[in-house]
Structure 1
Amino acid sequence: MSTYAIGDLQACHDELQRLLETLRFDPAADRLWLAGDLVNRGPDSLKTLRFVRSLGDSVRAVLGNHDLHLLACAAGTETPDSKDTFQAVLDAPDRDELLHWLAACPLMLQDETLGWSMLHAGLAPQWTLPQALRLAREAQQTLQGPDAADFFRHMYGNEPSLWDERLEGHARSRFIVNCFTRLRYCRPDGSLALRAKAAPDAARTDLIPWFAMPGRASRGQRIVFGHWSTLGQVAWPEHQVWGLDSGCVWGGALTALALESGEITQLACEGYRRPGG
């Protein structure tokens, strides 16, 4: 049996099929870990979501920011914009089943036997891995509970930017969700710099990749993540992290990491362009 972690799909259904063929993936024996952002921006959000859900117990996926955006739009607290490509999911006859499955996905996975954890974006530098797992479950209770729509109304925003265990209510949940689904950089004081998206620049000292933060409390643990298509490389062994978002939807690659062996497989992608775009 092999366990493959795969980066952001973003509705690239056909590329996923080709990558699974390359891997000779057998859903009866192998397992998939998906790093979030299953939907949006690409051409086939509905086909992708249906296929992933059809894999049953052979797949585990974490929530990404685009997945949460779909759930917020389905809840009526947000309106899809011109760049969103998941209207087919909202119009599908099986939308309720698909959205229920998606909402049940966690913010963080951990397999102590394999010795790996997965999340979509990043971790606050103050969090240990057990603490992060606890906080992920805490936020999931909000996302999966009867007050999820109320949280979606307050989900968007960059504050608070610094972790404090005394945070409460929507501010606390927003900080946790921002870490797991949006974080790339931190400032030297440990606060989140959520607006920054570019590739790491060694010349800049005001922004530090979350995984390179000095004294990061979760260091020494093997973590796979997505979300950062401009990162420029997959493996950062000195930090024990692997960034699997290789920008398939933008014409980059779809990347898989075999968790047992550490082997990396990449499928070159043509990228998706909206009609007229």
Structure 2
Amino acid sequence: MSTYLIGDIQGCDSALEKLLHQISFSPSRDTLYLLGDLINRGPASAEVLRRCMQLGDAVKPLLGNHDLHLLASAYGVRKPGKRDTLQSILNAPDRSDLLHWVSQQPLARCLESASGQRLLMVHAGVLPQWSLADTLALADEVHQQIKSDALPEFLMHMYGNTPNQWDSQLSGADRLRVIVNALTRIRFCSTDGVMDFESSESADAAPAGLIPWFECPERKTMNDIIAFGHWSTLGLMNRPNLMALDTGCVWGGCLSAMEIGSDFEERRLHQIHCEQAQKPG
């Protein structure tokens, strides 16, 4: 009985298939936690979703920015871009089933060990003002919108870079947008949590006045373990309280799975080298 955390798949179904074969994955025995961006940019987005759906409760995904972009494209809020590979889903005979399945997934998940250690999973990151409980509650606010009849209205107001800082007094679309941007887009921010959305460089190339979100000195989740994806230029990171698992599969890097023990301290990395499906730039 094994538990795996898998970084951004981004439509690379062949790599996912090979990785599952390498770890001898059994849906009756094992569990996969997928850290968002299951689809887009790779060649087989629909196939990734179908594979996940077929594996049932053994697969527990959360939503990333590309997964939300799929929903926005499906509802006509955003047109697919030149580098997007969403048509295999948007034109699929089972389109409705695929979109419904995506819309039912949360933006954060949490595991707790027998000793009380907590493992928070998000796609991109969390703001320094948020505790683990705050993060789960705020993620659920968005989840309730996405999985309901309010989805089209939510998507119409989802995009934008402002407000770029958390304020508990925020309400309506502004509040939801800040939550989405933190959970699915953040890389760098200021020490007090003002988010930047311009840079996607590696952590050691932070713009002036900014730091990686996980380096914020007053971050309330500092004593929790956080696993995330989203940041391919950051690469693999495996610290006691931090796991970064987007290792650039779609860019010709690796698809990574971290096998974790029941106390979250015992870890074993599994990787599959991927064919490059997109060129940077």
TM-score (normalised: structure 1) = 0.95
- Give distance in 2, aligned partners of 1:10 and 1:45: 7
Partner of 1:176: helix, strand, or coil?
Answer: helix
Which string of whole-angstrom CA distances, capped at 9 and with x for unpartnered residues, describes residues 205-258 of structure 1?
Answer: 511111111010111111110000000332133xx1101000000001111101
Deviation at 1:188, TM superposition (A): 2.5
Which residue pairs with 1:22 in the alignment?
A: 22
C-alpha contact (below 8 Å) 1:162/1:192 kept by paired residues: yes
Q: How many residues are paired up?
A: 273
Aligned partner letter, 1:247: G
Which residue pairs with 2:191 in the alignment?
A: 188
- Give distance in 2, aligned partners of 1:271 and 1:236: 28
Deviation at 1:113, TM superposition (A): 3.2
Aligned partner letter, 2:258: L
- Give distance in 1, aligned partners of 2:203 and 2:237: 13
Q: Which residue of the other structure, out of 259, 264, 272, is the alignment partner of 2:269?
A: 264
C-alpha contact (below 8 Å) 2:73/2:79 kept by paired residues: yes
2:135 is aligned with 1:132: yes
CA RMSD of aligned residues (A): 1.6
Deviation at 1:82, TM superposition (A): 1.2
C-alpha contact (below 8 Å) 2:11/2:48 kept by paired residues: yes
Q: Which residue of the other structure, out of 150, 154, 169, is the alignment partner of 1:151?
A: 154
- Give distance in 1, aligned partners of 2:150 and 2:236: 39
Higher mean displacement: 168-177 or 197-206: 197-206
C-alpha contact (below 8 Å) 1:187/1:208 kept by paired residues: yes
Partner of 2:204: helix, strand, or coil?
Answer: coil
Which residue pairs with 1:111 in the alignment?
A: 111
Partner of 1:201: helix, strand, or coil?
Answer: helix
- Give distance in 2, aligned partners of 1:75 and 1:139: 17
Which string of whole-angstrom CA distances, capped at 9 and with x for unpartnered residues, describes residues 173-205 of structure 1?
Answer: 000011111011111232111222100127765
Which residue pairs with 1:89 in the alignment?
A: 89
Which residue pairs with 1:230 in the alignment?
A: 233
C-alpha contact (below 8 Å) 1:116/1:259 kept by paired residues: no
- Give distance in 2, aligned partners of 1:230 and 1:236: 17
Partner of 1:266: helix, strand, or coil?
Answer: strand
Aligned partner letter, 2:97: E
Which string of whole-angstrom CA distances, capped at 9 and with x for unpartnered residues, describes residues 39-62 of structure 1?
Answer: 100000111111011110101000
2:223 is aligned with 1:216: no
Which residue pairs with 1:248 in the alignment?
A: 249
- Give distance in 2, aligned partners of 1:251 and 1:46: 20
- Give distance in 2, aligned partners of 1:113 and 1:105: 23
Change (3 A) 1:87 1:166: same
Partner of 2:36: helix, strand, or coil?
Answer: coil
Gaps of 5+ in 2: none
C-alpha contact (below 8 Å) 2:235/2:244 kept by paired residues: no
Partner of 2:110: helix, strand, or coil?
Answer: strand
Aligned partner letter, 1:265: H
Partner of 2:199: helix, strand, or coil?
Answer: coil
- Give distance in 2, aligned partners of 1:203 and 1:31: 35
C-alpha contact (below 8 Å) 2:188/2:206 kept by paired residues: no
